[in-house]
Structure 1
Amino acid sequence: MITRSVIRSSIGSVNRVSNKQFTISTRYLQKLKNEKNEQPEKPKKRPLSRVAIGGTSSDSKYASKSQGLEFATWKAITLLIIGGGLGTYFFQKEKEKIQKYKEMEANKPVGKPLVGGPFHLVDTNGNDFTEQNLKDPQGKRFSILYFGFTHCPDVCPEELDKLGDMVNHLNEHGVDLQPIFITCDPARDSKEAIDLYLKDFHPKIIGLTGTYDEVKNTCKKYRVYFSTPPNVKSGQDYLVDHSIFFYVIDPEGNFTNVIGRESSAIEGAEKIIKDSENFIPESQRIEKKQGIFGFLYK
C-alpha cells in the first residue's frame, strides 16, 4: 500500500511539474510574439539614382537608364527650340520675298507688262540685241537700262559714271549686273560713235543703237520720253530732251524697279541688291504655291 501510494504521489508530482512548465513555456512564447508584433516595421530601402562605391550591377543598370532618359529629354528640348527658331526665320524670309513679288505683280497690268516688251537693236559690234538678251538662263543676272545720247554735255556723263559705281558696288556684294546704254539720238549715234563714247566709262557697259523707228519703239516700250528740235539741218548741233532714269530688269526680263537721278550710286545699288534677294524664278513660284507656304500667295 505504501509503495503504491508513493508511486502515485510521485507520478502526480511529475504531472504537476510538467503542466507548470508547459504553462510557463506557453506564456513565454506568447510574450515573445506580442513583443515582436509591437516592434515598428523598418522602412523599405528605395533604389538610388546613382550607384555608390561598391554598388551592385543591378544598381548600375538602373542608374544608366535614368541618365539616358534625362539626356534624351534635354536633347529633344534642344532640337525643338532650334527647329522652331529655324522655322520662324525661314517663314519670315519667305513672307518677305512673297510680299515683294506681290508688289511687283501689282505694277503689271493684265495681259502685258507695264514697262518693257519686244524690241530690236544692235550693239557696237553689229550684233542683234533684243529683249531676249535681258534674260539669264541661270536666273541670277540682273540688267539695267539707261537712255541717253553721246552729245549730252553733262547729265549723261554723270549718270554713266554713277552706273559704273553701281556695277562695282554690286560686284563687291556678289550681284551680277548687265549695264546697257541705249541712244535716243540714232541720227548721230552710230555703233562706232557709241563705242568710242563708252570707252570713257565702265568697260562692262553695252551700247545699243538702231534705226530711228527701232529706237523709238524701244523708248515707247519702256515709257521713255525723248524729242529732238524740229527742222534740224544736217551737221547742226542740238540737244535731245529725254527721261533720266535707270530701269532695272530681273533675270527673266521683267521690269522690277526704277532708279531716279536723285539716288546716289550706293542707294541705287542697294535697291538692286534687295531686288536680287527677293527675286523668285517663275518655276519656283509655281512650286512654292503648291508647298507648305502656298497660303502666303493668296
Structure 2
Amino acid sequence: MMNIANMGQRFVRASLMIAFGAALAGCSGGGDAPPAKPPLEGARIGGPFTLTDQNGKTVRDTDFAGKYRLVYFGYSFCPDICPVDLQKLMRGLSQFEKIDAARGAKVVPMFITVDPARDTPEALKPFVARYHPRLLGLTGTPEQIAAVAKAYVVTYNKVPGSAPDRYLMAHSQLAFLMDPAGKPVALLPLDDPSSDIDEGAPAAVAAELAKWVK
C-alpha cells in the first residue's frame, strides 16, 4: 500500500474510535466496576453477505450465527501491510486459543479480499493457509465485494502499477471483532508495520479478544 493510503486508513480507524467513544485498552481494575461497554456497540457496521471461500464453497453470514467473527479486509498480492497485519492478528488469535481453547474456538477468522479479479479461491487457498489453519479466505464478484466492504465501512481503490496485472489496492486497514449476532464489538489493534510482530502486537490482539469473547 502507498503512504497516502496508510494516512487515510489511520484517519478512518481513528475516526471510528472517537465516534464510538473508546480506546482499545485492557480492563481497569476494580471488582465492583460495571462491565465494559463494547466500543462499537450500536455502530452500523456489518450485515448480510454471500461470498465464496478458498475451497470454492458458498459462504453466508448466517453460517456463523453464534460465533464471534474476526474480520479483516485486504488482498493476497499486497506487498507489505496485509501480510504483517495477518501475522499479528493470527498470532494473537493463536495466543488466545492457547490461553482459553474453548473461547478461542468461538472466534472465526475471516480475510475478505478487496481484489476479487486476482484473488480467486485458488489464489486465496495457499495464502490464508500461511497464517492460521482456520482462517477463511473470502472472495466473490466485484459487486459482492463492493457490498460487503460498504457494510463494513471499508473503502478501497486500484492504484495502477507498471503493468495491467501489477497494480496495488489501497484500502482501509481495519480489523473488526463481531459478536455472535453479527454486531460490531471492537476494532482489534493494528500498529505500524515496524512494530513487533512476534510479541507486542499479537499480545495486544490476544488481550482484546480475551476482553470481549465470552
TM above 0.5, yes or no, is yes
1:271 correspondence with 2:201: no
Aligned-residue CA RMSD (Å): 2.4
Give the equivalent residue in structure 2 for 1:48. Answer: none
Distance in 2 between residues matched to 1:193 and 1:157, nearest whole Å: 15
Distance in 1 between residues matched to 2:128 and 2:120, nearest whole Å: 12
Tell me if the contact between 1:117 and 1:221 (Cα under 8 Å) persists in the aligned partners.
yes
Give the equivalent residue in structure 1 for 2:58. Answer: 128
1:1-298 residue pairs with structure 2 within 5 A? 92=32, 96-97=34-35, 99-100=36-37, 105=41, 107-108=42-43, 114-136=44-66, 141-174=67-100, 175-176=103-104, 177-229=107-159, 235-262=164-191, 264-277=201-214
Q: Sequence identity of aligned pairs in percent?
A: 30
Distance in 2 between residues matched to 1:161 and 1:229, nearest whole Å: 24
Secondary structure of the 1:244 match is coil
Whose relative contact order is higher, 1 or 2, with alpha carbons under 8 Å and at least 6 apart? 2
Deviation at 1:268, TM superposition (A): 1.7
Task: Give the unaligned 5+ runs of structure 2.
Answer: 1-30, 192-199
| Gap change, CA 1:233 and 1:223, over 3 Å in 2 | same
- Structure 2 length-normalised TM: 0.73
**Structure of greater Rg:** 1
Q: Which amino acid aligns with 2:34?
A: E
Tell me if the contact between 1:149 and 1:189 (Cα under 8 Å) persists in the aligned partners.
yes
Task: Give the unaligned 5+ runs of structure 1.
Answer: 1-88, 109-113, 278-298
Tell me if the contact between 2:93 and 2:205 (Cα under 8 Å) persists in the aligned partners.
no
Deviation at 1:184, TM superposition (A): 0.4
Tell me if the contact between 2:129 and 2:135 (Cα under 8 Å) persists in the aligned partners.
no
Distance in 1 between residues matched to 2:163 and 2:63, nearest whole Å: 34
Distance in 2 between residues matched to 1:246 and 1:236, nearest whole Å: 27
Higher percent of residues as strand: 2
Higher percent of residues as helix: 1
Deviation at 1:255, TM superposition (A): 0.9
Deviation at 1:163, TM superposition (A): 1.9
| Gap change, CA 1:104 and 1:193, over 3 Å in 2 | closer
Regions of 4+ moved over 4 Å: 232-235
Tell me if the contact between 1:244 and 1:260 (Cα under 8 Å) persists in the aligned partners.
no
Q: Which amino acid aligns with 2:202?
A: A
Tell me if the contact between 2:154 and 2:171 (Cα under 8 Å) persists in the aligned partners.
yes
| Count of aligned pairs between the two proteins | 173
Distance in 1 between residues matched to 2:88 and 2:52, nearest whole Å: 24
Deviation at 1:200, TM superposition (A): 2.1
Secondary structure of the 1:187 match is coil
